[in-house]
């Protein structure tokens, strides 16, 4: 009887772990569209409220482009600041060797939220000297979608708190507006940003970056950890552990019965 109770309890625990709901993040990835061209005539507004087109930013320097959103409670600030810091420490000259561009994927973001995000990011990256060459853009739904489609950036609403699940990474664009390469994830090194920018400046189209399934929605800014990712991993480990223990107990009980 004790054997049945123990095994039943293990099965119940495994089923409970597997039954925890997870957000629908299917298809939320970077589809690397190397060689694709940015829609240069799409109109946006910068953090100061000035209207501009992406083509206005293509003045002989490559773009280091990041998509995210400015009221994000997750990883967007970390991503932008880490890229800005790596660019600032690369030895390159901003405005000549690269231009940093952030585009909000949320049409509800405003000039004010863009300005706040820029100030926050430059402070976090300790790179105030980049201010003149860092552009934080907002735009309408069609303009945002056209850029996201051009670089293969897929996203979707994650919950009722206006959070958005989206992939994490940067896109380097040539001075003619062509996608040159991707750096996926966060924690960029100055050397890799320098290499990506210099190759984009020469118009090179690099091979695809190694895919990294790192989602902004997984990150818990309050703890600095990947909450949902950890839950998923613990869920799998819990199920696997329950199964292993179950088989071990069955083996022990059978051996005990055969020895009796």
- pLDDT exceeds cutoff 60 at 212: no
CB 174 within 8 A of CB 180: yes
Instruction: Dihedral sign for Cα 103, 105, 110, 115, please.
Output: negative
- pLDDT exceeds cutoff 90 at 110: yes
Same domain, 187 and 230: no
Same domain, 166 and 64: yes
Predicted confidence at residue 4, as pLDDT, reads 44
The whole domain housing 127 covers 43-214
Domain membership flag for residue 91: yes
Lowest mean pLDDT among 38-47, 180-189, 202-211, 216-225: 216-225
Same domain, 234 and 153: no
Predicted confidence at residue 96, as pLDDT, reads 95
Q: The pTM is what?
A: 0.73
113-156 per-position pLDDT tens digit: 999 999 999 999 999 999 999 999 999 999 999 999 999 998 87
- Of 159, 206, 155, the residue nearest 180 (C-alpha): 206
155-187 per-position pLDDT tens digit: 877 665 678 888 889 999 999 999 999 998 888
CB 177 within 8 A of CB 38: yes
């Amino acid at each position: 009887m004790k054997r049945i109770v123990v095994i039943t309890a293990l099965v119940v625990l495994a089923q409970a772990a597997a039954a925890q709901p997870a957000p629908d993040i299917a298809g939320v990835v970077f589809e690397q569209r190397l060689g694709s061209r940015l829609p240069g005539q799409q109109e946006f507004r910068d953090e100061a409220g000035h209207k501009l087109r992406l083509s206005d930013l293509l003045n002989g320097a490559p773009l280091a482009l990041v998509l995210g959103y400015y009221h994000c409670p997750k990883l967007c600030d970390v991503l932008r600041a880490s890229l800005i810091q790596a660019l600032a420490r690369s030895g390159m000259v901003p405005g000549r060797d690269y231009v940093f561009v952030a585009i909000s994927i949320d049409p509800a973001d405003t000039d004010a939220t863009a300005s706040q995000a820029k100030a926050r990011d430059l402070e976090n990256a300790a790179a105030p000297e980049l201010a003149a060459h860092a552009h934080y853009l907002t735009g309408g739904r069609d303009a945002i979608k056209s850029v996201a489609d051009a670089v293969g950036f897929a996203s979707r609403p994650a919950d009722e708190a206006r959070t958005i699940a989206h992939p994490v990474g940067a896109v380097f664009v040539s001075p003619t507006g062509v996608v040159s390469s991707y750096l996926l994830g966060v924690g960029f090194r100055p050397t890799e940003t320098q290499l990506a920018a210099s190759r984009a400046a020469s118009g090179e189209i690099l091979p695809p970056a190694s895919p990294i399934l790192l989602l902004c929605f997984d990150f818990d800014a309050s703890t600095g950890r990947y909450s949902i990712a950890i839950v998923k991993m613990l869920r799998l480990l819990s199920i696997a552990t329950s199964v292993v223990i179950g088989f071990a107990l069955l083996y022990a009980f059978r051996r005990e019965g055969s020895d009796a």
